[in-house]
């Protein structure tokens, strides 16, 4: 089985289909009695657009198993935030129950940073698929191959922050605050975007490193000099 969408041999669809089935089960589980149903609906607009689009375009653009795995991880984490609302995900309580460690108290945190972690995860986990999309549809040369995917994540992150802001203005009240999730931080949008940028930069480094290692490994097996 090949692992990169630009290779000539067509990779199997079993792995992404298995991930889709697992995600459908996870989505269904977390769709049961979310803490704030209207916020859950807003948060799932991303999923209801992205997942069908990935399924529809699968035969035209088959991402690597690596990219699909990271997309699966991101959407699963996003569903946790959608179920509890991002500002109220009880990750610290889970940590206390499992390890007996109060991370928020130990680190002096007064704010729930789960949303920041997911913004970082958006950059880290989505950028490989973006890189593969660009290489398949609009191949670039030199450093542009690394810069454009990161810039794409940055622009998407900023756009999402503006959508959140407009949604909060439109819906207002408890729903608007739950969806916006600033938790009183006036620089929340800027910090979230910065986390996405840092995640995307790290994600590109890891993605290119992985591609380089695989090329070296294949070259060593075939005896082809690099």
Here the tokens at position 18 are 């298995």
Is 140 exposed, middle or buried (CB count within 10 Å of its CB: 0-12, 13-18, 19+)? middle
How many of the other CB atoms lie within 10 Å of CB of 47?
15
Mean pLDDT of the chain: 88
State the CB neighbour count (10 A cutoff) for residue 191: 15
Is the pLDDT at 178 greater than 90, yes or no? no
Nearest to residue 131, comparing CAs of 209, 191, 21, 49? 209
Region 18-40 average pLDDT: 96
Separation between Cα atoms, residue 181 and residue 158, nearest integer Å: 15
CA distances from 163 to 2, 64, 80, 190 (A): 38, 30, 20, 14
Average pLDDT over residues 37-53: 93
Give the global pTM.
0.88
User: Domain extents for the chain?
Assistant: 14-222
**Mean pLDDT value of segment 10-20:** 90
Percent of the chain with pLDDT over 90: 65
Is the C-alpha dihedral spanning 201, 205, 206, 208 positive or negative?
Answer: positive
| Distance separating alpha carbons of residues 185 and 70, to the nearest angstrom | 29
Torsion of CA 16, 133, 201, 113, to 10 degrees: -50
Query: Using CA atoms in the order 93, 97, 98, 102, what is the torsion angle rounded to 10 degrees?
Result: 60
User: What pLDDT sits at residue 2?
Assistant: 44
Tell me the pLDDT tens digit for each residue of 179-226. 666 666 778 788 899 999 999 999 999 999 999 999 899 888 876 555
pLDDT value of position 7: 45
Distance (Å, rounded) from C-alpha 74 to C-alpha 196?
A: 12
């Amino acid at each position: 089985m090949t692992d990169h969408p630009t290779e000539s041999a067509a990779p199997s669809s079993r792995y992404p289909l298995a991930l889709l089935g697992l995600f459908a089960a996870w989505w269904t589980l977390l769709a049961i009695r979310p803490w704030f149903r209207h916020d859950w609906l807003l948060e799932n607009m991303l999923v209801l657009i992205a997942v069908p689009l990935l399924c529809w375009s699968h035969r035209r653009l088959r991402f690597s198993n690596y990219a699909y795995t990271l997309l699966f991880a991101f959407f699963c984490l996003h569903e946790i935030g959608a179920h509890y609302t991002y500002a109220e995900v009880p990750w610290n309580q889970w940590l206390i129950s499992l390890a007996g460690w109060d991370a928020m108290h130990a680190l002096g945190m007064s704010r729930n940073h789960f949303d920041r972690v997911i913004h970082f995860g958006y950059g880290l986990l989505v950028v490989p698929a973006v890189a593969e999309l660009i290489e398949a549809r609009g191949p670039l040369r030199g450093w542009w191959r690394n810069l454009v995917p990161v810039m794409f994540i940055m622009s998407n992150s900023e756009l999402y922050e503006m959508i959140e802001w407009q949604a909060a203005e439109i819906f207002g009240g408890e729903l608007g605050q739950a969806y916006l999730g600033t938790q009183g931080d006036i620089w929340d949008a800027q910090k979230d975007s910065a986390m996405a940028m840092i995640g995307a930069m790290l994600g590109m480094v890891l993605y290119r490193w992985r591609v380089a290692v695989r090329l070296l490994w294949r070259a060593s097996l075939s005896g082809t000099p690099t």
